Copies of this chain bind each other. A is one copy, B any other.
Amino acid sequence: MTDIGAIFVQHLGLIGRLSADDEAALLSVDGDIREVQRGEDILVEGERPTHAVVVFSGLLQRYTMSPQGDRQIHSFYLPTDTPCLETLHIGVMDNNLGAVAPSRIGLVPHPELFRFMDARPNVLALIWRETLIQASTFREWLMRNSQKLAHVQMAHFFCEIMTRARAAGLTQGDACDLPITQDDLGDALGMSTVHVNRTLMMLRAAGLVEFRGGKLRVIDWEKLVETAEFDPTYLHLRP
């Protein structure tokens, strides 16, 4: 008996309402625990996954590699996130899931989840909803990476991380862990490492945020949200 069920209860509870019954049932969802190192992959392109994933600690990335070796990061998964629920109905991976930082994860067999969803339509609806919110987030990233200036993009990214971390109860005051390098950040925002560095210094100098040593600290949330043009609707969190 692991705590995998508890993570499902918390995570799905953030985006919808679970009945006491559903919660009790979900608590018994179970699977295997694994430790993964920075740089290690969990699911790779071409594979046919048989498990979904939950994050206990650390940080995961969803990414693709171009023929030239450029990496595009599509998502970061914080502790309590449940990546790759979409593998329930997409047979073959068209992207990779890996660890950006040393992480502790849980692996839940598909049949286990199907069992719960068959019995509980409301759980099915919420898991489906989770995958749809992911899609909504991909759209927001598309918009952000396609049309915003570097410093706006970056502010937006920090707003999203902070908002999600806060919802998941992972913040320490105005700060939270974000164990990524400037290189990782560049591969998420689609900009070079050099420019990430300069943009970061600009935001720091403007008194908006600080990001050093894997720690994100918000200095002026109001101003950060404003320069980011950040509207959290797309995360579809419960009010």
> Does the CB pair A67–B229 fall under 8 Å?
yes
Q: Does residue A24 face the partner (Cβ distance < 8 Å to B)? A: no
Verify B146–A89 contact, CB threshold 8 A.
Answer: no
Asked whether, in the complex, the Cβ of B72 is within 8 Å of the Cβ of A143, the reply is yes
The residue from B66, B92, B121 contacting A143, defined by CB atoms under 8 A apart: B66
- Tell me, rounded to whole Å, the shortest Cβ–Cβ distance linking A190 to chain B: 3
B146 lies within 8 A of A72 (CB): yes
- Asked if A89 and B136 sit within 8 Å, CB to CB, the answer is no
Whole-angstrom distance from the CB of A191 to the nearest CB of chain B?
Answer: 9
Per-residue 0/1 for A221-237: is the Cβ within 8 Å of any B Cβ (1 yes, 0 no)? 00000000100011010
Q: Which one, A33-41, A127-135, A210-218, is touching chain B?
A: A127-135
B66/A132 in contact, CB under 8 A: no
Expressed in whole angstroms, the minimum distance between the Cβ of A115 and any Cβ of chain B is: 13
Contact status B94-A233, CB under 8 Å: yes
A125 CB–B CB distance under 8 Å: yes
Complex CA distance for A132 and B136, rounded to whole angstroms = 11
User: How far does the Cβ of A124 sit from chain B's closest Cβ, in whole Å?
Assistant: 8
Asked if A142 contacts B74 (CB within 8 A), the reply is yes
A163 on interface, CB distance cutoff 8 Å: no
Give the A interface residue count (CB, 8 A): 38
Q: Shortest distance in angstroms between A216's beta carbon and chain B's nearest beta carbon?
A: 22
Given the interface contacts A139-B138, A142-B138, does A132 sit within 8 Å of B94 by beta carbon?
no
Given contacts A74-B139, A138-B142, contact A132 B234 (CB under 8 A): no
Considering the complex, give the chain B residue whose CB is closest to the CB of A85. B132
Is A145's beta carbon under 8 Å from chain B? yes
Q: Is the CB of B132 within 8 A of A89?
A: yes
A21: interface (CB < 8 Å): no
A95 at the interface (CB under 8 A from B): yes
A-B contact pairs, 24 of them (CB 8 A): A64-B139, A64-B143, A66-B229, A67-B229, A70-B147, A72-B147, A86-B132, A88-B128, A89-B132, A90-B129, A90-B236, A95-B139, A128-B128, A131-B131, A131-B135, A138-B139, A138-B142, A141-B142, A142-B142, A142-B145, A145-B145, A145-B190, A146-B146, A146-B190
Task: Name the 9 nearest CB pairs between A and B, nearest first.
Answer: A146-B190, A135-B135, A138-B138, A72-B143, A89-B129, A145-B146, A142-B142, A86-B132, A94-B234
